[in-house]
């Protein structure tokens, strides 16, 4: 039981009522019941009815806190007293993740994982069996691993906030077959076929190949301000790419000749301040696949990045330059998407040729 004095009813100069009390040697004033989860608003009543409503609020506040109920700090998730349920901890964890600098797609994944858990289990306290039930929704290894990763992120954050039991501990990823982005044998031929199909897709693919940028975000969101004045380099800050680090890549001459620099704040594809929607290139690529005579199985938009990486290594023989050009943290992950480094020493002559 939390020791507190019984709340007193007070009135401000403009006739608003509140209840005040001391808890842990600190004075609190509540004008409504929102902070204890109660929809009671004395000041929404006519002035002559507010005192009785405030007295009711005082009784509810006293009952709530002395019985172990939760009271949070004003406009924060910090606890003054009481103990949150696992579900409440998880909700706070999700809210905090939404305030961090993640992509909309990643935040959407976290939302889905959170809502799926709520749908599967109505418990206030989560246990291992609840996680098992959620993970049973997917047999596919990639989807299973993605869901598990998102749940671990939320529960690990909740554990930092004070969650006593983390039910995701001990769960391991399923072994998944690697998806092969098959490289192109004749890069010029496939690019020419794409050029005849759609100019924006062509520009995306040739930049994915020649600059080794990731198509669905790094290329799609490019503005003219990301280029140097002479269009020789692209400079992306850590917030603009998956690695989280600054990235600088040369622009080969065969790409520069396709570019006509506009105002710095304009997207290179739309000509406006807004980038194409996140599924823009995915949709066009899907349409291209249906009509292409050259595209082979397992060849995707990322196959251009894969092909470019192979070309760089063939031209330079340098694993270090390959690592930096791809934007990876180690040679072990040169064909995955993790961390990146600045590539100031990479020259145009090192970049893939057509």
pLDDT tens for 272-300 read 999 999 889 999 999 999 999 999 988 99
- Nearest residue to 182 via CA among 70, 270, 80, 294: 294
Cα–Cα distances in angstroms (integers) from residue 138 to residues 86, 134, 143, 268, in the given order: 24, 8, 6, 39
Please check whether residues 75 and 142 belong to one and the same domain.
Answer: no
Q: How many domains in the chain?
A: 3
Q: Where does a domain end: 66, 81, 96? A: 81
* Residue 181 located in a structural domain: no
Given 30, 56, 81, the domain boundary residue is 81
Asked whether residue 312 is domain-assigned, the answer is yes
pLDDT at 339: 31
Mean pLDDT score of the chain, rounded to an integer? 85
pLDDT tens per residue across span 86-131: 888 898 899 889 988 888 888 999 999 999 999 988 877 899 999 9
Given a contact cutoff of 8 angstroms between Cβ atoms, the answer to whether 325 and 234 are in contact is no
Most confident of 74-78, 116-120, 341-345: 116-120
Looking at the structure, do residues 117 and 259 belong to the same domain, yes or no? no
pLDDT at res. 2:
54
- The reported pLDDT for the residue numbered 180 is 58
Q: Which of 307, 310, 278, 303 is nearest to 289 (CA)?
A: 303
The pLDDT of residue 323 is: 67
Report the predicted TM-score, pTM, of the whole model to 2 decimal places: 0.55
Mean pLDDT score, 136-163? 89
Residue 106 lies in a domain: yes
198 and 344 together in one domain: yes
Whether 153 is covered by a domain: the verdict is yes
130 lies in which domain range?
86-161
Same domain, 202 and 131: no
User: Do residues 256 and 207 share a domain?
Assistant: yes
Q: Could you tell me which residue, 303 or 347, shows the higher pLDDT?
A: 303
The mean pLDDT value for 313-341 works out to 58
218 within domain boundaries: yes
Q: Are residues 34 and 69 in the same domain?
A: yes
Are 251 and 341 in a shared domain?
Answer: yes
**What is the model's pLDDT at position 70?**
81
Share of the chain above pLDDT 70, in %: 85
CA torsion, ordered 292, 284, 322, 146, to nearest 10 deg: -120
Q: Are residues 103 and 212 in the same domain?
A: no
Same domain, 46 and 94: no
Q: Does 30 share its domain with 128?
A: no
Count H helices, E strands: the chain?
11, 7
Same domain? 67 vs 211: no
- Res 278: pLDDT: 87
pLDDT at residue 135, as a whole number: 92
127 within a domain of the structure (yes/no): yes
If you count them, how many residues does the chain have? 354
């Amino acid at each position: 039981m939390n020791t507190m004095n019984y709340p007193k009813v007070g009135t401000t100069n403009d006739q608003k009522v509140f209840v005040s009390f001391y808890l842990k040697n600190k004075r609190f004033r509540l004008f409504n019941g929102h902070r204890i989860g109660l929809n009671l608003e004395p000041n929404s009543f006519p002035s002559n009815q507010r005192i009785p409503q405030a007295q009711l609020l005082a009784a509810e506040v006293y009952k709530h806190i002395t019985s172990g109920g939760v009271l949070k700090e004003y406009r924060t998730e910090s606890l003054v007293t009481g103990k949150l349920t696992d579900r409440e901890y998880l909700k706070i964890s999700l809210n905090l993740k939404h305030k961090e600098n993640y992509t909309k797609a990643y935040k959407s994944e976290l939302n889905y994982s959170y809502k799926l858990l709520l749908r599967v289990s109505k418990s206030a306290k989560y246990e291992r069996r609840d996680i098992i039930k959620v993970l049973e929704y997917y047999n596919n290894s990639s989807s299973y691993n993605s869901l598990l990763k998102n749940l671990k992120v939320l529960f690990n954050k909740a554990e930092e906030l004070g969650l006593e039991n983390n039910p995701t501990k001990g769960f391991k990823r399923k072994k998944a077959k690697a998806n092969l982005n098959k490289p192109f044998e004749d890069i010029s031929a496939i690019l020419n076929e794409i050029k005849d199909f759609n100019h924006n897709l062509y520009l995306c693919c040739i930049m994915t190949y020649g600059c080794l940028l990731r198509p669905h975000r790094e290329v799609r969101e490019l503005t003219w301000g990301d280029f140097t004045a002479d269009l020789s380099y692209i400079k992306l800050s850590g917030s603009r790419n998956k690695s989280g680090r600054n990235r600088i890549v040369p622009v080969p001459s065969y790409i520069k000749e396709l570019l006509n620099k506009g105002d710095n704040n304009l997207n290179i594809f739309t000509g406006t301040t807004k980038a194409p929607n996140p599924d823009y290139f995915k949709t066009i690529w899907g349409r291209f696949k249906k009509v292409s005579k050259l595209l082979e199985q397992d060849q995707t938009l990322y196959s251009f990045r894969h092909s470019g990486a192979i070309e760089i290594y063939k031209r330079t023989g340098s694993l270090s330059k390959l690592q930096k050009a791809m934007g990876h943290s180690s040679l072990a992950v040169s064909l995955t998407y993790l961390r990146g480094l600045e590539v100031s020493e990479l020259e145009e002559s090192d970049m893939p040729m057509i």
